[in-house]
Amino acid sequence: MFSKFLNLDKEKQDRIINAAIKEFALKGYDTASTNEIVKEAGISKGLLFHYFQNKRQLYLFLFDYCYELLAEEFYKKINFSEVDFFKRIRHAVLIKMDLLSQYPDIFKFIEEAYFEESTVIKIELGNRIKELTDINFGKVYEGIDLSKFRDDVDVKKILKIITWTFEKLSEEELNKVKLSSAHEIDFQQLQIKAEEYFEVLTTCFYK
Amino acid sequence: MFSKFLNLDKEKQDRIINAAIKEFALKGYDTASTNEIVKEAGISKGLLFHYFQNKRQLYLFLFDYCYELLAEEFYKKINFSEVDFFKRIRHAVLIKMDLLSQYPDIFKFIEEAYFEESTVIKIELGNRIKELTDINFGKVYEGIDLSKFRDDVDVKKILKIITWTFEKLSEEELNKVKLSSAHEIDFQQLQIKAEEYFEVLTTCFYK
DNA sequence: TTGGCGTTGACCACACTAGTCAATACGGTC
DNA sequence: GACCGTATTGACTAGTGTGGTCAACGCCAA
């Protein structure tokens, strides 16, 4: 399907992919312009449509590409032998932030895809997203040692509260970056904060 | 400034305001079309620009209008004499969800405004948002009784965890609505869940 | 009948779109 | 050098839509 494109030398492929991801991430499917993409990638209009049948096909190709890249990187780094929930989730958050700073456009692209409303791609995209969340849901909780938690409250709710806390913590840190226009996540700061909340949560939720 | 517009009969004002809010909320500043707005409002193009100098002025007017409306409604309903943090925050979440179902477009408009990237309005809008968050930040924590909380951990972090939990809980409920295309928040369900988490949190965070 | 205000919508000049295709550049083979 | 086939170009099409203007009209009070 994309053999012509995939036979290109890697450098040119990347130029096109990165330009397209950036444009779609920034503007969404409808408003994104193929003219901007080719300008940014430094290729001609005709070439883009030589490799991809149309805008829609390009977008869906990019979705698969981005998702696979992020998932692979994530599962490569996460440690499933760690059975302590706090440690695993803390680690997961840090990996996520790391990937975010390494691939900001790819992250934004995937995030925006979840809110994409364009009729041209919504159904096809919806199917893929559903399939993927079905697969990944629950994986974070796999093999967790629940025996350490206090047993006077529902442990599932505790797990949720912990997950939410770390998620919100990183969201907060991201917003700070966005507002201060610092453009760089302060990983040391985040690690310290994660550690502090880690302490509060273990004190309150462990036996 | 807007005296011409504000002297209109309320019904026509509302028709214009609602149409404009809906369009901006749905498409963002740049992509929103004044043509669509006048069509939806049932007025002529010329009339819109008779009341508002240009698109930009219209947008900023709407931002102020929406923010004032939501803030007023919120502070009218919240009970500042309730000193129990759990009860206050639980109440705040329910009010928020209530407003959300009552004014979905207005909520979306304000939410989107925080992410607005259009250069034409970004600076002016940024100023207003900063000012407003400065004012409102901390108000939720005013006059809270901290004596009930366990004192072996930092109470500020506990407050954050509680806030985040209820926020995430309502976000989850909203997403469910969005995916199921039910279009209506199940308030009873949300209340029950809030109650359940309320119990877990008091058990773990109170003395 | 006149003046004036509220209102209309055709119209302007332009920006930009996704996609096409004849023409060219280029690399290898004889 | 000639020739071939593939990679690549970018001017072009046909169309949509934009924010904003303005001459003209309807209507009502004086």
pLDDT at B11 exceeding the cut of 60: yes
A3-10 long-range Cβ contacts below 8 angstroms, 24+ apart: A4/A50, A4/A51, A5/A51, A5/A52, A8/A51
Q: Do A161 and B158 make contact, defined as CB atoms within 8 angstroms?
A: no
Res B131: pLDDT: 76
**Structure confidence at residue A135 as a pLDDT band (50, 70, 90):** low
Specify the range with the lowest mean pLDDT, choosing from A30-39, B62-71, B78-87: B78-87
Please tell me what DSSP assigns to residue B26.
H
Chain B residues with CB inside 8 Å of A192's CB? none
DSSP helix/strand/coil, B149: strand
Q: Which nucleotide is nearest to B44 (CA to C1')?
A: C8
Nearest to B205 among A150, A199, A204 (CB): A204
Q: Provide the CA A103 to C1' C3 distance, Å, integer.
A: 67
Q: Do A205 and B204 make contact, defined as CB atoms within 8 angstroms?
A: yes
Mean pLDDT for all residues in chain B? 89
Could you give the CA distance from residue A53 to residue A47 in angstroms, rounded to a whole number? 11
Res A206: pLDDT: 93
Query: Which ranges of chain A would DSSP assign to H, the alpha helix?
Result: 3-6, 10-31, 34-41, 45-51, 55-77, 85-102, 104-113, 122-136, 155-180, 187-205
Percent of chain A whose predicted confidence (pLDDT) is above 70: 95
Q: Greater confidence, A141 or B66?
A: B66
Q: Greater confidence, B160 or B142?
A: B160
B204: nearest Cα among B140, B166, B161, B147 = B161
CATH number for the domain running over A3-205: 1.10.357.10
Q: Do B157 and A196 make contact, defined as CB atoms within 8 angstroms?
A: yes
Res B179: pLDDT: 67
Nearest to A154 among B150, B168, B200 (CB): B200
Res B126: pLDDT: 86
Could you give the CA distance from residue A21 to residue A24 in angstroms, rounded to a whole number? 5
Cβ neighbours of A8 (radius 10 Å): 15
Please state the domain extents for chain B: 60-205
Q: Cβ of residue B120 near strand C, that is under 7 Å?
A: no
The bases of strand D with some atom under 7 A from any protein CB are 7-12, 17-23
